Structure 1
Amino acid sequence: MTGVETRSVARDSLFLLADIRIEQGAEANRVRVRNLSDGGMMAEGNLKVKRGHRVDVELRNIGSVPGTVAWVQDDRFGIAFDEEIDSQKARRPLGAAEVASLAAAELSRAHRAPPPPETAKLRKL
């Protein structure tokens, strides 16, 4: 390998988990996602897939994404998605925006820090 990147699509190196269902089987299998792009991903796990298998990948913050196994090597394999996704969504914390707005609205006054004191009213020692 020359160390020169020849791929035309940028990939994000990351480590997250996803569930994959092989079209022929009903059970979901947990795999590690090693890299992710808008058009596909590389996964790693004890899963018996073959090139050409149709799969559904459940990605965090994205949902179910259909695709096809493009290549297999040992316990790693590549999946080409049927349609492009926003791969950056998978990096975001689970429902961060929704959790933050809900938490701020539901906190009682007892859970909030008091406002800072006015410096003019502070006594000097």
Structure 2
Amino acid sequence: MSARMRVSDEDAGFLVRVRNVSAGGLMAELPHPLRPDSVVQVKLNGIGWVVGRVVWQTEGRTGVAFDQPIDVARVKEASGTPD
């Protein structure tokens, strides 16, 4: 699924491809690297903007840990993604 990611409230953000998502975070492919521990916001279908931190970055993929758990079922339902 696709999502929008940004590094500040004023930033329009950029599109990312989310490869997997859980209640505690996600892994996504980004068009450019972000530094580990960077604060990011991710706009997820069915949820809206979620705040998290970059926990790892390698070969175009990034792991983000959310500050608060999310309801993954809402994201999958809104994205048409099966369980």
Task: Give the structure-1-normalised TM-score.
Answer: 0.59
Q: Which amino acid aligns with 2:36?
A: R
Structure-2 residue corresponding to 1:53: 38
Aligned residues: 79
- Residue 34 of structure 1 is aligned with which of 19, 38, 45? 19
- Residue pair 2:30, 2:61 contacting (<8 A) in 1 also: yes
2:69 equivalent to 1:84:
yes
Give the aligned CA root-mean-square deviation in angstroms. Answer: 1.6
Q: Which amino acid aligns with 1:91?
A: K
- CA shift, 1:45, in A, is 2.1
**Higher percent of residues as strand:** 2
- Residue pair 2:52, 2:67 contacting (<8 A) in 1 also: yes
Query: Structure 2 CA distance, aligned partners of 1:57 and 1:67?
Result: 8
Q: Which has the larger radius of gyration?
A: 1
Higher relative contact order (CA 8 A, sep 6+): 2
- CA shift, 1:25, in A, is 6.8
- Residue pair 2:8, 2:41 contacting (<8 A) in 1 also: yes
- Residue pair 2:23, 2:69 contacting (<8 A) in 1 also: yes
- Residue 69 of structure 1 is aligned with which of 40, 54, 58? 54
Query: Structure 2 CA distance, aligned partners of 1:29 and 1:47?
Result: 10
Q: List gaps (5 residues or longer) in structure 1.
A: 1-15, 95-125
Q: List gaps (5 residues or longer) in structure 2.
A: none
3-state SS in 2 of match to 1:92: helix
Cα 1:43–1:25 shift into 2, 3 Å: farther
- CA shift, 1:86, in A, is 0.4
Task: Give the structure-2-normalised TM-score.
Answer: 0.87
- CA shift, 1:24, in A, is 8.7
